[in-house]
Structure 1
Amino acid sequence: MTADDLVLHTNPMSRGRIARWMLEETGQPYRVELVGFDGGNRSPEFLAVNPMGKVPTLVHGGAVVTEAAAICAYLADAFPQADLLPDPTPASRAAYFRWLFFAAGPVETAVTAKSLGLLAPPERSRMVGYGSFDQTVDVLEQAAASAAPWITGARFTAADVYVGSQIAWGLMFKSLPARPAFVAYVERLQARPAWQRASALDDAAMPKQD
């Protein structure tokens, strides 16, 4: 396998940082195509790959995967030798899928809605998947607090990449409260060599300030 077989279309100021970290965890060679937000994401060439014009977008041997959570799950499945899948026990698999999709659904929606001032009023909370922002944060805290040391137990998985990224960004941008369980979990994640490599690569790709 060569780097051209696995191509990440990304921007360092985007959720593409999640996909970059996941790729580093796999240990596979890959190539990066930087997509600018000054029109590059709306170019005919990129729209032919992802009509949404969104990053990250992963191309693996001609197959296209979009959405950061899906990319994490796909890579864990495509490269089982990286040991990023949960133990094959019902409890571990349940935790893996539960928290991966909880972070991609209720957490992302609740945090974004609050940032935009668009949270559902209490009387309409049954209509939205996250219920309320506070409820979602409390449940996310339970997941972080029970991580021993990872979401599914002793084994680090793709779910940790995605859930951990959501929490890390929430702490950085103060869209999540700095609860001790969140802080401790993120500290464990950021000690991983793959996280550090991915972060350094994305930081180096950031637009230079004049």
Structure 2
Amino acid sequence: MITLHHCPQTRSMRTLWLLHELDVPFQLRSYPFDRTLRTPEFLSLSPAGRVPALEIDGERMFETGAITEYLCERYSPERLGRMPGSPNRMSWLVWLHFSETLSQHTAALTQQHIALREDHMRSPIVMKLEAARVRKCYDAIEARLSTPVENRDYLLTSGFSAVDISVGQAVYMARHFATLKDHPATAEWYERITERESFKASLPKGDGIYAQDFYAPWPLE
């Protein structure tokens, strides 16, 4: 049995989305995004006190990229994964790990806008800098999706894969701080992948980290 340890609207959402797409049995344990993740019990699952953590066959995994690679190799090596020898293997790995680049900038913005509750703790410079870095990541996705080749509905020309899940979930979080209005190909791709039932099943059922859809740079101009 697989058990996913998860906080809504965090990186673990991409593992939840992937598990729904794989259509394999699993149990879900959800946690609030607070000091619960620092308890000795949770640290035995994920030593840095972060989600996701995955229990599978008596073993424990953490880090979304590693979890994605393992689950794809085991359950969907051709449809969602791209195994060694596949023409798209290199691109699959690049975009899988690119999702963390985007997520790091979003994490910094989440800290500035949400985790730092007092205005004097926040930095308008950091907010603007990180939002600009998010938009640069959007530029990279836009360039990929705008390349004039056949079958450019997804990040790989061979079709939908786990990298659309990983990058798509990173965009889901990033859109709270930077819109896609100047990235039309990315917006179309995002709309396409988020129509999937597996994405809808991964959305929070109650409260998540983000209390509003968009957080404007602070202070408001």
> Is 1:191 aligned to residue 187 of structure 2?
no
- Among 42, 47, 54, the residue aligned to 1:58: 54
Superposition map of 1:86-165 within 5 A: 86=82, 91-105=87-101, 107-112=102-107, 116=112, 117-118=125-126, 133=133, 135-146=136-147, 148-165=152-169
Conserved 8 A contact 2:45-2:61? no
Measure, in 1, the Cα distance between the counterparts of 2:207 and 2:108. 29
Partner of 2:29: 33
- Distance apart, 1:81 and its partner CA: 6.5
Does the C-alpha gap of structure 1 residues 11 and 86 become closer, same or farther in structure 2, counting only changes over 3 Å? same
Partner of 1:203: 205
For structure 2, list consecutive stretches of 5 or more residues without a partner in the other structure.
113-124, 212-221
Identity across the alignment (%): 24
> Is 1:168 aligned to residue 164 of structure 2?
no
> Is 1:71 aligned to residue 73 of structure 2?
no
- Distance apart, 1:139 and its partner CA: 1.7
**Cα RMSD over matched residues?**
3.0
Count of aligned residue pairs for this structure pair: 190
For structure 1, list consecutive stretches of 5 or more residues without a partner in the other structure.
122-131
TM-score, normalised by the number of residues in structure 2: 0.73
Amino acid at match of 1:52: A
Amino acid at match of 2:178: S
Does the C-alpha gap of structure 1 residues 81 and 27 become closer, same or farther in structure 2, counting only changes over 3 Å? farther
| 137-146 or 186-195: bigger deviation | 137-146
- Distance apart, 1:110 and its partner CA: 4.1
Amino acid at match of 1:108: S
Aligned-partner SS, 2:44 = helix
Q: More helix per residue: 1 or 2?
A: 1
Partner of 1:125: none
- Distance apart, 1:159 and its partner CA: 0.7
Measure, in 2, the Cα distance between the counterparts of 1:161 and 1:190. 9
- Distance apart, 1:192 and its partner CA: 1.2
- Distance apart, 1:49 and its partner CA: 1.1
Aligned-partner SS, 2:199 = helix
- Distance apart, 1:204 and its partner CA: 4.7
Amino acid at match of 1:60: I
Conserved 8 A contact 1:99-1:143? no
